Amino acid sequence: MIVSDIETFLSLLLLERGLSRNTGTGYGQDLRRFAEFLKGRGKTESSAVVRDDIVDFLAEERTAGMRGSTRSRRTAAIRTFFRSLKERHLVSSDPSALLDAPKKAKVLPRVLSEEEVAQMLEETKGEDPISLRDRAMLETMYGCGLRVSELCALKREDVVGEGELLRIFGKGSKERIVPIGSAAGRALAAYLEGSRESFARGNLGETHVFLTRLGRPFTRQGVFKIVRDRAAAVGIAADRISPHVLRHCFASHMLAHGADIRAIQELLGHADIGTTQVYTHVDTARFSEIHKLHPRH
């Protein structure tokens, strides 16, 4: 049954291939949607799928107004699924082998100006526990170019190098070292020393850096709300800001100050630098010098 084949495949992705949970979730949505489409054609076995089934599915998605980036991801999910089945000798041929991936439309990332980011950060001031926490969160995201999932997963032991570096586990659990920078370092130290324990509520077993009022690690949605609320306070429209926009700002603003693009890609942990690279061997001294080009260092 194609449904059971899909679930087995998703388990293999997470356990053996090291794909991130977010990628696995996306692939699961794509493949289950494809399975529903096949069911409508009376096909429930993976071995019964032919190339025209896949082509018609993607054409239906396009007609329904699905974005090119989503259709590209679905094509990738289907290709990876059938390649896995073929490698495990569960199908005799791969019906996706000759597919053409839909062309992705180039979408420029949304970026705030340096002045807008500075206003947002300066608005998040105060010595109360929530202000110290929120300022540290925003400064760390912008100052280190973190994904929101990386910020949520950050633990006390990941603040290394006498508080000057962060050890980050990115997509596929790839590890990299990122300099914190002066502004983010000050904000993070102020939070850790001044208010984190009030959120931890005496729970010594909780090691995540950023905690909610209930003493729990933040979710992506929780961080998203804080970013939106703090931006709204200085008049930045909700459709212009998100945690990922701050990551884009990190890269864009450093480029504007003359930083090398490949160094920025490494600091961001982009897979195209080398998906097998281990970031524990980063030249931290060189990256620290490069990071001084960041406008809030």
CATH number at residue 186: 1.10.443.10
Q: Are residues 132 and 239 in the same domain?
A: yes
How big, in percent rounded to 5, are the helix, strand and coil portions of the chain? Answer: 60, 5, 35
Q: Tell me which of 71, 133, 135, 147 is the catalytic residue.
A: 147
Read out DSSP for 198-238? HHHTT-TT--BSSB-TTS-BPPHHHHHHHHHHHHHTTT--G
Backbone torsion region of residue 218, taken as left when φ is above 0, otherwise alpha when ψ lies between -120 and 50, otherwise beta:
beta
Give the chain's domain count: 2
Residues in Cβ contact with 158 at an 8 Å cutoff, skipping those fewer than 6 apart = 166, 167, 168, 209
3-state secondary structure of 167: strand
- CA–CA distance, 265 with 40 (Å, rounded to integer): 44
100 occurs within a structural domain = no
Is residue 34 located within the same domain as residue 73?
A: yes
Active site residue 281: no
| 89 a catalytic residue | no
Averaged pLDDT score across all residues of the chain? 84
**Strand-by-strand arrangement of the 159-160 sheet:** 159-160, 165-169, 175-179
Average pLDDT value for residue range 161-174: 88
* pTM over 0.75, yes/no: no
Mark whether 125 and 266 lie in a shared domain.
yes
- pLDDT reported for residue 136: 97
Looking at the predicted structure, is the pLDDT value of residue 280 above 80?
Answer: no
CA dihedral sign of residues 220, 226, 230, 233: positive
Same domain, 154 and 276: yes
Determine which one of 244, 248, 296, 297 is catalytic. Answer: 244
Q: What is the CATH number of the domain that holds 61?
A: 1.10.150.130
* pLDDT at 20 (0 to 100): 67
Domain for residue 262, yes or no?
yes
**Do 139 and 279 fall within a single domain?**
yes
Assign residue 18 a region: left if phi > 0, alpha if psi is -120 to 50, beta otherwise?
Answer: left
Q: What is the dihedral of CA 12, 17, 23, 25, to 10 degrees?
A: 20
From 33, 67, 270, 296, the catalytic residue: 270
Kindly state the average pLDDT of the residues 113-133. Answer: 93
Is 76 inside any structural domain? yes
Q: Left, alpha or beta for 45 (phi > 0: left; psi -120 to 50: alpha)?
A: beta
pLDDT exceeds cutoff 90 at 49: yes
- Tokens 């960041």 locate to 294
Domain of 224, in residue numbers: 114-291
Q: Are residues 157 and 19 in the same domain?
A: no
247 noted as active-site residue: yes
Which of 247, 253, 291, 294 is catalytic? The answer is 247
Domain annotation covers residue 270: yes
- The verdict on residue 94 lying in a domain is no
143 and 227 both lie in a single domain: yes
What is the per-residue pLDDT for 285?
45
Rg of the chain on CA atoms, in Å: 22
Structure-block tokens of residue 115: 């002045």
Taking the CA atoms of residue 152, residue 207, residue 158 and residue 151 in that order, the dihedral angle to the nearest 10 degrees is: 10
What CA–CA distance (Å, rounded) separates 151 from 188? 12
* pLDDT category of residue 286 using cuts at 50, 70 and 90: very low
The owner of tokens 């076995």 is 45
Q: Would you call 147 a catalytic residue per the annotation?
A: yes
Q: Do 24 and 136 lie in a common domain? A: no
- What is the percent of the chain with per-residue pLDDT over 70, rounded to a whole number? 86
Span 199-231, pLDDT tens digits: 999 898 999 999 999 999 999 999 999 999 999
Residue 132's pLDDT band (cuts 50, 70, 90): very high
The 3-state DSSP class for residue 113 equals coil
Is position 230 annotated as part of the catalytic site?
Answer: no
Residue 108 maps to a domain:
no
Of the candidates 27, 142, 191, 279, the residue annotated as catalytic is 279
Residue 95: inside a domain: no
166: part of which helix (H) or strand (E)?
A: strand 165-169
If asked whether residues 171 and 281 sit together in one domain, one would say yes
Helix (H) or strand (E) holding 141, with range, is helix 129-144
Same domain, 166 and 268: yes
Same domain, 15 and 133: no
Clarify whether residues 8 and 127 are in a common domain: no
